[in-house]
Amino acid sequence: MKELSFIHRFEPALTPDLPPLLLLHGTGGDENDLISLGKMISPGAALLSPRGKVLENGMPRFFRRLAEGVFDEADVKARANELADFIAEAREAYGLQAPVGVGFSNGANIAAALLMLRPEALAGAVLLRAMVPLSEPPKADLAGKGVLMLSGSMDPIIPAENSERLAEFLSESGASVKHTVLPVGHGLSQQDLSLTQNWFLNR
């Protein structure tokens, strides 16, 4: 494994023409968490899975929060830029095209922040249980980027209007957004898997 700026796991592509996936874990996860999900949703794609550098009570995250649902926005910006730099490093080291971000919870929020702050870093994104990461996001040009957002109607952490606001912002920035609200909570379900598989097949 090459020495890059994030601890990470890399699985080379088995099917060369598929876009690589950038797998971004939720709070308490690590670089191994979403590998099996990545293999299921886009079989044969290269997988790049970094570990978040922030520790909250010993649990890895991609940025700091002040309370549940209240983010340290200065840290969000710094960490999104740091992650975008890692993606550029990894693309050079492994010979990759721009990846599609696949993030769950905290990982989905940093992926959304990447789209807002460093849109060139991602070719598109799957945001599983995402919230608005920045209260006043900068204008971003997301033309040509597809985004799948899957939210839970019974999610105790994310208010419905928050995820709707994120979908609206991404759409207004030019992304092709498909936002589906599932009858589930914060955890992932079989529906998340099948909808994400279909999205990759049809993108």
How does pLDDT run across 91-108, given as a tens digit for each residue? 999 999 999 999 999 999
How does pLDDT run across 117-156, given as a tens digit for each residue? 999 999 999 999 999 999 999 989 999 999 999 999 999 9
Q: Integer distance in angstroms from the first to the last C-alpha of the chain? A: 30
The answer to whether 89 and 5 are in contact (CB under 8 A) is yes
Q: Which of 42, 105, 151, 173 is catalytic?
A: 105
> 């060369």: which residue's tokens?
16
* Ranges of H-type helices in the chain: 35-41, 73-94, 106-117, 160-172, 190-202
Q: Does residue 155 have an active-site annotation? A: yes
For the whole model, what pTM was predicted?
0.97
The domain covering 8-202 belongs, at the CATH homologous superfamily level, to: Alpha/Beta hydrolase fold, catalytic domain (3.40.50.1820)
Three-class secondary structure of residue 171 per DSSP: helix
Mean of pLDDT values over 31-37: 98
pLDDT-based confidence at residue 116 (cuts at 50, 70, 90): very high
Residue 93 identity (one-letter amino acid):
A
Q: Which of 8, 33, 155, 179 is catalytic?
A: 155
